[in-house]
Every structure is written in structure tokens, then in C-alpha cells.
Amino acid sequence: MNTFENMSLSNNLLQAIQKLGFTNPTEIQEKSIPHIVKGKDLIGESATGSGKTLAFGCSIAEHVKPNEGLQALILAPTRELAEQVRNSIKELTPQLKVMSIYGGVSINPQIDNLRKVDVVVATPGRLLDHLQRRTVNLSKIKILVLDEADRMLDMGFIDDVERIIRVCPKERQTLFFSATISSKIKTLANRYMKDSITILAERQVDPSKLKQVYYNVMKHGKLALLVHLLKTEISGLAIIFCNTRNTTDFVNKNLRANKVDAVSIHGGLSQNKRSGTIEMFNKGKVGVLVCTDVAARGLHIENVSHVCNYEIPKDAKDYVHRIGRTARAGEEGMVMNLICELDHDNFGRVLREYRTFNVEKLEKPHTENIVPIKSSNFGQRPRRNNFGGHRRSFGNRRNSNPRSSGPRSFGNRKNSESDRGNSDQKSFGNRRNSGPRSFGDKKRFSSRPRFS
């Protein structure tokens, strides 16, 4: 087995690695670092949390010189990952000025700091904002890294990524790191890499220590079952995955109402809130994290004993990334899936694409009835007045003028977790274009909402 000492690393870098407490390299580090420090282009496939940041950080530590302008650019799909990578690179290279840039926060401090930085970790949308404003100079880039490249492309950033790559100098080192090497990544590599090397590493999740189960449950019984499991079956840290922001808020609010110490994270929260929540969970100050897939990829979250899928994702790959949060580093883990009639298609897709998964069916235990508390924007229906109308509905005179209310703010219909530009949400639509809805609008009022 290779050690850090025989990888031809500088003394300063070896001392930094030792100071961080790393003694033996992980598989992806052992296989990739000797090529990376030689300046080779490389594609690395390895699971989240396997040490990829240290791998490409070695090239930055060896080849970027302080106070000579922006020389290394790392693209990341989410704000949290960008901030996490920045902290890791800063610990590895204390001599360099490292900053992260992403949307959802003021752009002015970023503009000021970009003038004197050596390394930037960025989400594609905000970096394009800076390129359009001409507040960032990529002409001296020596090293370009795409971290969690598959996630970035799945989120629809491929055009943005290509625009950024084309602005960078052609003479550079290009590194792609990803949990899976898709055809899109291969196409991108063929287009923008020179004589690239592909490195594959085993997944850190130990299948022999990971148990997967599922419960068949009615949609309205999911919440009661989840509360029961968290109180009676689950010990240690647990991550509850939902598909949308609204469901995440709904589940978190109801867990807390039922005396479960939970916090939530999704793309609709402020950056300070998201960072603070991850820190609380990582330090064990709360035992349950309710989240969308924004937390499934890239984030360094240790000691998770249970993963619970409150909803099954549409993409089977997202299921794999979710369950990869547990059964790591030799520890045992359990995945619990709550399957209702709406989840059968997605769950069937997972089982078809990953036939080696052994998912055991468990009988639903007896649970106490829970009356769910509605979140403020979770599928609410306007209350009716005594005359059969809707109180302050679209037909109400106070709201009937579309110009007085402006665009609705329920958020993106799909509640997607992308990180484009300054905002994670899109408006629901402008009333000036669509006009007010009438009392009899079937799309809005014809059916009652169904709560989980």
C-alpha cells in the first residue's frame, strides 16, 4: 500500500496532511495523487466522503503560488459543498487565499475579495454572474476541478460548466471527480481533457453491514409510522429524505410537534441557516436531519446510523447516494423506506436498476394516530365561508386586482434544489399574464389535499 510519504509530496504538504490527522491514504487518494501531483488530467470515480477533496487539494498545494492571482478553480453543485471544500482546501493550504462564491448572498463582498484570491470554489450560476460583470479573471487558471461532476450535470449545469471551461486557459490541468462516471462526463472529458487517466475506487459503503427494509403504508399513515420508528427503533443520527422542500418543512414541523428533536435543510433556506443546521447535526446537537437531496451528495456527515426515505426519489441514482450516508468505515447502518401507493413506480425503478439490492419487507407496526400540522405552504386549500365561497380567495375584491399582488411566491413547481444565480426559487407565475382565478377554478379547489 502506498503511503503519503512515498507519493513525492513536498515536506510542507506532508506536514499539513499529518496536522490534519490523516495517516494512511484512502483508495481514491492512493490511486490518484501520484498522477495529480504530476499535473495529469484525471477522472476519479469514488463515493461521497472518500477523500476526493484531499486528492485534488494536493495539486493545488503543490502548484499554486501565493499572491500571483487566481490560479485554481473548483466548481461544485451546491452552496454547502462549495463551503465545505473551501474549508478543506484552506486547512490543507494555509499559505493560500481561498474563497467560495455562490448565490443567495450579497455579491459585493465577493467582488472585493476576488481581487486578491488564489483559489476559488464556486457554484456555476454565481461564477457566470461574475464573468458577465467582469469581476473575476480566469486567465491565469492552472487547475480546474469539477467536484461531484455527475450531480452538477444532473442538475442541468452542463451548458454553464462548458461556458466556464471555455473561458479558462487551454494549457491547464483538468480534474473531474464524481460518484459515478456517466456518458455526459465522458463526453465532457473527451472534449476538454488531454490524455486523461481514469481512476476507479470501491464504494466505502459496506453492503454486508447495510440492511435495507421497507414498509407498505397508506400515504396518510407515513407520518405516524415515521414518528414511531424514530422513537422506538432508531438510535444514533438519522437522516430523513424527502423529495421536495414543502414536504421537508411539513415533516420537520410535525416531528418537532411530536417531541422528536429534528432540524431541516433544503435549498429554500438562507445560507446561514443551512450551514448552521449542518453544523448542529454533525456535532450531534440534534439527532434527526430532515432534508432534500441537497444533503445527499458531497456533504461530509459522519456517524449516521439510519437513513429513512419518507419519499422515494424519481432517479434511482439518488436513492443510491442517499443510502450511501450510512454503513460507512466499517460501521453498520440501516435504510428504512416508507412506501405508499405514490412511491411504487419509483421504488420499482430502484429495484430494477439495482438488482443486487436485498430490501426486506417488514410488517407495519401498530402506531398511534397523529393529526398532522399543516405547514404554511403545504398544499393548503382556502377556507370556505358560510356562503360557500372562499375567504379572501382570488375572487375577493381585495385581491381581485392582479397588479396589486404581483407574482406568487410559492416557489418552483418542482421544488428543485438547483443553485442558479442569486436565488434557489422561481416565481409561481405572474398574475398579470394569467389573470385571477374564479371561485369555480377546478384546478385549485376541486379536490382536498392529502397529507402524509
Coil, strand, or helix at residue 395?
coil
DSSP 142-153: -EEEEETHHHHH
Cell of 376: 404554511
Report yes or no: 81 and 297 within 8 Å, Cβ to Cβ: yes
Q: What are phi and psi of 270, to 5 degrees?
A: -65, 160
Task: Please give the single-letter amino acid code of residue 196.
Answer: S
Domain residue ranges in the chain:
4-200, 209-361
CA 346 – CA 27 distance, rounded (Å): 32
DSSP 96: S
* Domain pair 4-200 / 209-361, same fold: yes
Instruction: Tell how far CA 59 is from the center of its chain.
Output: 25
The CATH-assigned architecture of domain 209-361 is 3-Layer(aba) Sandwich (3.40)
DSSP H helices, 97-157, are: 108-113, 124-133, 149-154
CA 323 – CA 296 distance, rounded (Å): 8
pLDDT in tens, 25-62: 988 999 999 999 999 999 998 876 678 999 999 999 99
CATH of span 4-200? 3.40.50.300
DSSP 81: H
Most confident of 159-173, 265-279, 365-379: 159-173
pLDDT in tens, 79-113: 889 999 999 999 999 999 999 999 989 999 999 99
DSSP 332: -
pLDDT score recorded for residue 236: 85
pLDDT in tens, 187-243: 999 999 999 999 988 655 566 788 999 999 999 999 999 999 999 998 889 999 999
